[in-house]
Amino acid sequence: MLECLRKLNLPEYVLDILNHSKGVIVPKTREELLDLAMGNGTNNEYNIEYDVKGKGRVLEATATRCTNGIVVNYVEDYMRRRDPNCMYIADKKPTDKPRYEEVFNSSFDSLRAETYEWLKDQELIFFPFKSGGVEYGYDSVLIAPVNAGFFAAGLADLQGFENIDDITDFDLKAIVYLAPPFRHTHFNGRQAVIHNRLDGIHEVYSYNLYPGPSAKKGIYSVLLDIGESEGWVTAHASTVKVITPYDNEIVIMHEGASGGGKSEMIEDIHREMDGRTIFGVNTVTGEKSYLVLSETCELIPVTDDMALCPASIQNESKKLVVTDAESSWFIRLDNIKSYGSSPQYEKLLIQTKEPLVYLNMKAIPGATALPWEHTLDSNGKPCPNPRVILPRKMIEKAYKGSVEVDVRSFGVRTPACTKENPSYGIMGIFQVLPPALAWLWRLVAPRGYNNPSIIDTLEMTSEGVGSYWPFATGKKVTQANLLLDQIVNSSNTRYVLIPNQHIGAYEVSFMPQWVSREYIARRGSAKFKPEHLVECRCPLLGFGLESLKIDGQYISRAFLRPETQHEVGLEGYDAGAKILTDFFKQELMQFNTDELNPLGKQIIEMFYKGATVEDYMNVIPMRY
């Protein structure tokens, strides 16, 4: 055994894998990991391939060394996005997720043993890291085949990579095992991530090379599992400190399903070359609506996708306190379609301070990978999920530490809505929600329209409680109770709902959240006067706005209350409201059990009885 491993107090079965493998590399720097990603040599191109029983040598992905980093491209379109149905639970602890034993009619013990034997037949990468980041994270280790260096480098960036020489105390809480060929031999080519929650150690078995469901969301599962036992959650959210041109500060935390605008909330507003912004394009008439902001707010990003909310950092402010759960951000680049689309990120990604790890991008050996040049899928269209793993230390102004949240927003991808083709795209630029309604939205967490991040249909589906349910290993009702307690205990935090992609008949991309961010920050402490709010025809949407003025310009009423659009009208709005309400009726039934917090049962029963917005305000008061 390598002497440096003794201090980690690893379980005997882990030591057995390492001792009987063909060799163990313990990288101590990021540079070593990046070299391993290219075959530990001077190669500019490297194939990641495996011997697969019955299939011979199978090429999974290629790695290309560019001037600004390493670009990884998967051979199959399917492997370029996270499969939302790839999680299985191997243990006997409480869960609402599919159990491995029930799905595959066999015990996981035999697959676990096969995995260990396969790993023993490989040269391995092994290193310690902190699940959840260096400051508040939990001691963890990775065991992976050496030719999957890019996966190891990506995980090390995403989490809190540790040099084993610097460790003095180690309390192992999680292990990630990587065995890519098993997706072919055991899972019919599908992505599979198996969670085995042992007492004190959470094992994550990744049987595929796309890091989304394992190196990123698999670690999210570890944090949710630990939080479940300790009484707190890791929110699926970006967080930004917004400083107005008048030096007022406000913190907004934006939650939502994948594609719900979390990364976009910490982006600068996108502009045309002449400085204007296109707020919306009417999908029926083609008419464009413009907005000119002479000066926008300064953005201090805090979190990109995962916000730790542990009990240890909450305080007496009655506002939710959060800190980043990641050391790097897994940023989707599909919104960067041409030069100038996002100068903030283009400079970081092209003239990068250190080499980065890119996924699903065009790459020429020795050239510069450009963030608007995305790999083409087999249908000839650009892959909708190009990614970069961007270390926080490279992000200018990224805030280190915890912040108090003034406003929690929830993002929903919405399709166009018209009288002829009604849909749930009936939300205005933003809706103000009473806390009880904010909780219901987090239980249902609509995944929404045309999600670019995962393999899915175009129909409205539920991401599940908190919008982080795809990554949780326990029971939905447990997470529902934790979220309700969090909302009740954070009575000074306010709640809004923000659509993206469409408002009624208008295509708006992520403009609603960028403009809402500017408007809310300028109001100071996010206070809304009752006379400025209009109770919505659809109670699930809480309050709309009577008017919105920003930087001397009034936003058209059509964007505040979509029912006023000629293309929508009351007919289209009410049909969309029925679609939305029926969806909530379908999704909320599963939570109405004896295990649910009595206050939660009261709120859900109110919904089924046709509660008004005022009813929701009475059960949990709303601060204006």
3-35+81-229 and 257-297+411-619 agree in CATH topology: no
Rounded Cα–Cα distance for residues 141 and 205 (Å): 12
Residue 526 has pLDDT above 90, yes or no: no
Residues 6+ apart with CB under 8 A from 367: 66, 67
Residues 6+ apart with CB under 8 A from 485: 231, 597
Taking residues 101-127, report their average pLDDT: 97
CA distances from 605 to 189, 439, 620 (A): 43, 14, 15
Q: What are the b/e assignments for 280-299, b being 16+ CB within 10 Å?
A: bbbbeeeeebebebeebbeb
Phi (first) and psi of residue 486, to 5 degrees: -65, -45
| Residue 342, pLDDT score | 83
**How many other CB atoms are found less than 10 A from the CB of residue 162?**
20
Strands 543-545 and 533-535: antiparallel
Q: List, for residues 194-222, the tens digit of each pLDDT value.
A: 999 999 999 999 999 999 999 999 999 99
Weakest-pLDDT range from 75-89, 93-107, 263-277, 494-508: 263-277
Weakest-pLDDT range from 298-312, 337-351, 476-490: 337-351
Residue 497 has pLDDT above 60, yes or no: yes
Weakest-pLDDT range from 184-188, 218-222, 250-254, 334-338: 334-338
Place 525 in a pLDDT band, splitting at 50, 70 and 90. low
The string of DSSP letters for 325-354 reads: --SEEEEE-TT--STTS-HHHHHHHHS-SS
Residue 71 has pLDDT above 90, yes or no: yes
CA angle 429, 434, 435 (to 5 degrees): 115
pLDDT > 70 in the chain, percent: 97
Q: Which residues pair with 321 in a beta bridge?
A: 404
Give yes or no for a contact between 279 and 559, defined as CB atoms under 8 angstroms apart: yes
Position 374: which residue type?
Answer: H
Rounded Cα–Cα distance for residues 167 and 159 (Å): 16
Nearest to 151 by CA among 77, 100, 219: 219
| Residue 97, pLDDT score | 97
Nearest to 442 by CA among 600, 615, 215, 568: 600
Weakest-pLDDT range from 321-325, 455-459, 563-567: 455-459
CA distances from 397 to 240, 299, 320, 357, 384 (A): 11, 8, 22, 21, 28
Q: List, for residues 119-145, the tens digit of each pLDDT value.
A: 999 999 999 999 998 888 999 999 999
Q: Which residues pair with 126 in a beta bridge?
A: 143
Residue 458 has pLDDT above 70, yes or no: no
Q: Which tokens sit at 233?
A: 């959650």
Give yes or no for a contact between 223 and 234, defined as CB atoms under 8 angstroms apart: yes
Q: List, for residues 412-436, the tens digit of each pLDDT value.
A: 999 999 999 999 999 999 999 999 9
Beta strands in 414-449 (DSSP E): 431-433
Q: What is the CATH number of domain 257-297+411-619?
A: 3.90.228
Position 355: which residue type?
Answer: P
Q: List, for residues 251-279, the tens digit of each pLDDT value.
A: 999 999 877 899 899 988 888 878 889 99
**For 194, how many CA atoms within 13 A lie in the half-sphere containing its CB?**
26
Domain-by-domain residue ranges, the chain?
Answer: 3-35+81-229, 257-297+411-619
Residues 6+ apart with CB under 8 A from 178: 142, 143, 144, 145, 148, 151, 206, 209, 214
Please state the pTM of the whole predicted model.
Answer: 0.92
CATH T-level topology, domain 3-35+81-229: Phosphoenolpyruvate Carboxykinase; domain 1 (3.40.449)
Beta strands in 207-355 (DSSP E): 234-243, 249-256, 277-282, 288-291, 298-303, 306-308, 321-324, 328-332
Q: Which is higher by pLDDT, 485 or 592?
A: 485
